[in-house]
Every structure is written in structure tokens, then in C-alpha cells.
């Protein structure tokens, strides 16, 4: 049996992930969120309401887990990531899968990179700091860097390594969820890698919804 906790389980990416993980054999799933009202339907999961700023609440969620998945975002992602990493170390939990964001290394192709920076460039320093915390943590990790998120039912992914230029402007939530499920089943797949995720055939100066 493998114990898995999702931090930020009320997010839309987590909502795409939970049903997939529930279908996997030998997985015990814990859901952690500030507001758990949308999680009551997942009756087979352990549900914990709490804030990732609260180390005590995090400890309750992370202790005895095998894998921690973070679907958090926001302007304090770096601080929240530090809290998760430190709590994992204290609890002796070693594998961390975290969703970050494309663009933090100016690795998006132009002119998309310029457009993305104008739209959300103020989030890049915090997201970069969060990724750096994970890379320097001495934990085993996989950092996922999607670009502009969609609800499209598109599972195909283009994966780029850190230092490579992205291909594409969009990433579907379901494709992120499917990849995370693969990582849960096979943690060696992208262990200690920081990868960009996008959908093929979405190249352009901006995502389709903004054209």
C-alpha cells in the first residue's frame, strides 16, 4: 500500500487528479485543503482541513505518507513550499511532486515569452524561489512546469527539460494529472528532474483563448 497526500486538493488541477489516483490499486489518498467543502464527495479519502502556513496542520497531513503532491499556487508559494519541505524532512517523507509554472527561467519561446511576462511576470520570482527550494532540499522530487492551463481533454504532452525552450503555449489539467499518476506508480520516472509540460500543436504568440 502506498500513502499519498495532495496539498491544495481543492485546486482545479487536483480535482482532475483525484479521480485518476482513486482508480489506482494499492493507493491510500489523503486530501489537504483550506476549504474542504468541495472534497466531501471523495468519501474513500482521508480529508484534512488546514492551511499550508500551519506546520502543525501540515504535519498531520504529511506524517506516514510516501509521496507528497503539491497543487498549490499563489503569491506565497515559496513560503508554503518551504513549510512543506521542512515538514517532509521532519516526518521522514522523501518524494515530493510539485506543480510550478513555465516561464520562471525565461524558457518560453518568443513572442509567447514576452506576452506571458506582461500577463503574469510578477509571479515568476516567487515561483522560481519555490522551485529553487525544492531543488536544494535534498529530497527526491519532480517539479512540473506547465504553461497556460486549460480544461481540454487532451492527454498528449510535450516534455522539455530544464534549460530547454518550451514548445507550445497551453497545458491541460488532465494531462498534468495523468503524468502525476504515472509518477505515483513509478517515482523513478522523472526523479530529481524539473520538466516543462505543454500540449503539441499549441504554438503561437499566446494561448488560443487569448487570440
Give the Å distances, CA to CA, from 162 to 98, 102, 121, 159, 169: 15, 10, 19, 10, 16
Position 159 confidence tier, pLDDT thresholds 50, 70, 90: very high
Nearby residues of 201 by Cβ (< 8 Å), 6 or more positions away: 168
Are 142 and 176 a contacting pair, CB within 8 Å?
no
Q: How confident is the model at residue 43 (pLDDT cuts 50, 70, 90)?
A: confident
**In the CATH scheme, what is the code of domain 2-210?**
3.40.50.720
> What tens digit of pLDDT does each residue of 108-153 get?
999 999 999 999 999 999 999 999 999 999 999 999 999 999 999 9
Amino acid at each position: 500500500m502506498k500513502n499519498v497526500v495532495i496539498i491544495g486538493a481543492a485546486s482545479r488541477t487536483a480535482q482532475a487528479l483525484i479521480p485518476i489516483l482513486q482508480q489506482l490499486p494499492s493507493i491510500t489518498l489523503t486530501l489537504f485543503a483550506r476549504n474542504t467543502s468541495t472534497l466531501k464527495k471523495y468519501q474513500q479519502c482521508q480529508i484534512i482541513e488546514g492551511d499550508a502556513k500551519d506546520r502543525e496542520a501540515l504535519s498531520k497531513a504529511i506524517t506516514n505518507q510516501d509521496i507528497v503532491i503539491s497543487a498549490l499556487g499563489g503569491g506565497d508559494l515559496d513560503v508554503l513550499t518551504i513549510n512543506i519541505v521542512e515538514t517532509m524532512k521532519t516526518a521522514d517523507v522523501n518524494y515530493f511532486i510539485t506543480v510550478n509554472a513555465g516561464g520562471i527561467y525565461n524558457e518560453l519561446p518568443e513572442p509567447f515569452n514576452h506576452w506571458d511576462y506582461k500577463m503574469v511576470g510578477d509571479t515568476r520570482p516567487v515561483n522560481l524561489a519555490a522551485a529553487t527550494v525544492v531543488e536544494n532540499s535534498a529530497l527526491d522530487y519532480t517539479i512540473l512546469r506547465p504553461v497556460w492551463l486549460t480544461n481540454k481533454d487532451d492527454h498528449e504532452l510535450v516534455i522539455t527539460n530544464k534549460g530547454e525552450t518550451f514548445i507550445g503555449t497551453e497545458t491541460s489539467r488532465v494531462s498534468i494529472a495523468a503524468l502525476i499518476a504515472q509518477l505515483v506508480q513509478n517515482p523513478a520516472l522523472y526523479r530529481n528532474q524539473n520538466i516543462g509540460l505543454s500540449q503539441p500543436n499549441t504554438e503561437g504568440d499566446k494561448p488560443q483563448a487569448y487570440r
